[in-house]
Structure 1
Amino acid sequence: MTSASRSRWSSGGGGGGTHGLLRSEVFQVFKEVDHILHGGDVGTWDILIGLQALAPVTAVYGNTDGLELRGKLPQVAQLQLDGFDIVVTHGDQFGQPTPAKLHDAFPKAEIIVYGHTHKPLLELVDRTVTVMNPGGAGPKRFALAPSVGILELEPGIPPRARLVRL
């Protein structure tokens, strides 16, 4: 679902798969983040408005998002936070996305946040690229517990990341 980040050092909240449901636990976990990264399957524009009450949001559309969101959100977002090159994508364009496929597609990214599978994952690729699937923060799907991710970013130091069950 969503990832987040924080600054002096920055904290980023990562999430995806809200599917129209913004759990109250997300507000607690993301209360001190500086930026929110949403990996798609947002559900409704109101979800992003709710998240923007916490921090700026970078979001992409997912395979279940309708025309309204597809018209407003990109399939892939690229940004820099605290000097880190970050890519956010849903990942469905890769079939079953894997950290290796994502790294091959976005070789300059230092952090990749994606969704689609709803399976929480945190992996280091080539010893330098952090790949995170924060899981799904919306309705429970596929017998997986709802979750989000937190990234802690500080220039010159490798990113620290963790997954948080809701």
Structure 2
Amino acid sequence: MQIQIDYTKLKDNKVICADAKSFFATVEIFSRGLDPMKSMLAVVGDLSRRGSVVLASSHALKERYHIKTGSRLYEIPDDRRIHIVPARMSLYIDQSMQILEIINRFAPIEAIQPYSIDEVFFTTLGMERIFGSTYDVAMSLKRSVYRELGLLLGVGIGPNKFLAKVVLDN
């Protein structure tokens, strides 16, 4: 016997998955007063070890030299325009908490589920009368985070966490 499910009767959770793009690198760029569009910067786990892992790289460094998360310190070319910096986890945690505080303006704390330091899920279910559609919330969130922190957020919207993440990644 095959079970039939009437999906129209299931609650639409209106989930947003938000992810700060190149989070560690972007935080470092802004904290150092560098140009986010042009600066080539790599955040490295341990500067004293040539085989240390690149934890994040700026868009410009990815584009020009194909250095990305998981690359090694020794792969970074000797170019005086490249900033190689150590990881500052307390700074990233502080910025992550500020993002969560901004999200909390749009959703109650019970509806917010951090996934990692730079990625979070939250639902806007029941908030439509205050903030508009889930899409409106997502766009307002992106603008607020950029205006206040200088960080770019990618967002995915779906009826559940899985589909919101799939939308974000595509």
TM-score in terms of structure 2 length: 0.23
TM-score in terms of structure 1 length: 0.23
**Larger strand proportion of the pair:** 1
**Larger helix proportion of the pair:** 2
